[in-house]
Amino acid sequence: MKRPVRIVALGYLVRCPLGGMAWHHLQYVAGLARLGHEVWFVEDSGDDPWACYDPSRGTTDADPSYGLEFARKAFDLVGLPDCWAYFDAFESRWHGPRREDIEAICRRADLVINLSGSNVLRPWTAGIPRRVYLDTDPVFTQVRNLHDEQRRGLTAAHNAFFTFGENIDRPGHGIPEDGFPWQPTRQPVVLDLWPPGPGPGDGPFTTVMQWDNSIQDVPRQFEGRRYGRKAESFEPYAGLPGRCGATFEIALGGADAPRERLEKLGWVLRDPLEVTRDPTTYREFLAASRAEFSVAKEGYVTARSGWFSERSAAYLASGRPAVVQDTGFTDWLEADGGVLAFTDLDEACAAVEEVTARYEFHCREARRVAASYFDSGKVLPSLLERAMSPDSAIAGDTTTAME
């Protein structure tokens, strides 16, 4: 951009104070600031009285106290202590270092980026000229727009649309058409926040995984096609530890996860709250891993969406290879190493063996792939250029786009 853009990033950090979720947001805010733009992080409680998760108490309610302290430490970590504010709709008050002037900041802003569509638009954000909906859950977002009029209304309040479903403009994808003009994008990574170090060649293959996301009642079928979750993707690979001479460790969340069965099959299970307690513990968990092994949501795979995990991008930036299920991302990501895609159990085993056999090579390539494809200095200028382009925005409400 020829001049600094005044950007408001809307996110889900106070309400969901976990390390991995925090990094997803911090990469955008820190990356945009490093490019010289004026950026502020704003979060809204929404109108649900069960909005805020407190992992220390294992509760969800309207009290943001835990999340506010979490946010303070998170923004301190990336050197942006004064860039954020949180609106508590239940008490009709602002919290955070910009609580006194955030509404005035929003009135002057050029662009709002609603990460994951996780915030309602209040009067102070609804009037920002360019309003980006950034979809991080392709397929499920589109199906939700087709089934849920309230959700569709939130999406339609924006006028530029980007998705992690990076195959959205390629032939052969199965992402449902919801009438919005989605453009592809991907997770940015601020590389200097992920210093690579020598990988533990004898360490475990790890991931952080939610067995199922029952919090969101997302329709899973559209026009006779079913879009499943991670639990369904995982089943064909449940026997992997018995097939490969490696240790596989999951920081596993989800009340319905079959923990006893998975442990009998050889999976090492970790408490996800220990691993994701804050951004630092999460980063340390990735660095202590030999590599990542992870499946993707079955819906991402069957739709050949091209989605790539922000978590996997962070593994790569840490210099850790990623052995991950192919969602169609191999249509746009070309790599000789570092990222090893699989489509069945035999390919998964072969990829694990390949990482083990040429470990140092794949660690070097992992960082190279991160720099080539996910560097915030490359991803974010492209996003901003398109978001601010007169050709990319649509005027008015798009609810009639399917008529």
Mean pLDDT computed over 86-92:
96
Q: State whether the Cα torsion 266-270-272-275 is positive or negative.
A: negative
Confidence of residue 1 (pLDDT cuts 50, 70, 90): low
Q: Is residue 129 part of a domain?
A: yes
pLDDT at 193 over 90: yes
Tell me the per-residue pLDDT of 91-113, one tens digit each, with 9 for 90 and over: 999 999 999 999 999 999 999 99
Residue 324: CATH number of its domain: 3.40.50.2000
Please count the structural domains in the chain. 2
Q: Is residue 400 part of a domain?
A: no
pLDDT at 135 over 80: yes
**Joined tokens for residue 144:** 């939700």
pLDDT of residue 80: 98
Enclosing domain of residue 109: 6-188+377-388
pLDDT at 72 over 60: yes
| Same domain for 358 and 301 | yes
| Same domain for 220 and 146 | no
Token pair 């009135």 is at which residue? 107
pLDDT of residue 327: 98
| Same domain for 127 and 36 | yes
Q: Is residue 162 part of a domain?
A: yes
Tell me the per-residue pLDDT of 205-229, one tens digit each, with 9 for 90 and over: 999 999 975 545 555 777 878 888 8
Q: What is the DSSP pairing of strand 6-10 with strand 38-44?
A: parallel
Tell me the per-residue pLDDT of 313-364, one tens digit each, with 9 for 90 and over: 999 999 999 999 999 999 999 999 999 999 999 999 999 999 999 999 999 9
Residue 127: CATH number of its domain: 3.40.50
Q: Is residue 394 part of a domain?
A: no
Q: Is residue 403 part of a domain?
A: no
Mean pLDDT computed over 225-238:
91
pLDDT of residue 96: 98
| Same domain for 171 and 60 | yes
| Same domain for 158 and 45 | yes
| Same domain for 57 and 178 | yes
Q: Is residue 398 part of a domain?
A: no
Q: Is residue 90 part of a domain?
A: yes
pLDDT of residue 392: 67
| Same domain for 222 and 142 | no
| Same domain for 316 and 220 | yes
Confidence of residue 399 (pLDDT cuts 50, 70, 90): very low
| Same domain for 257 and 276 | yes
Cβ atoms < 10 Å from Cβ of 66: 17
| Same domain for 37 and 169 | yes
pLDDT of residue 402: 27
| Same domain for 336 and 230 | yes
Mean pLDDT computed over 231-254:
94
pLDDT of residue 396: 42
Average pLDDT for the chain = 94
Q: Is residue 54 part of a domain?
A: yes
pLDDT of residue 299: 95
pLDDT of residue 400: 29
| Same domain for 349 and 207 | yes
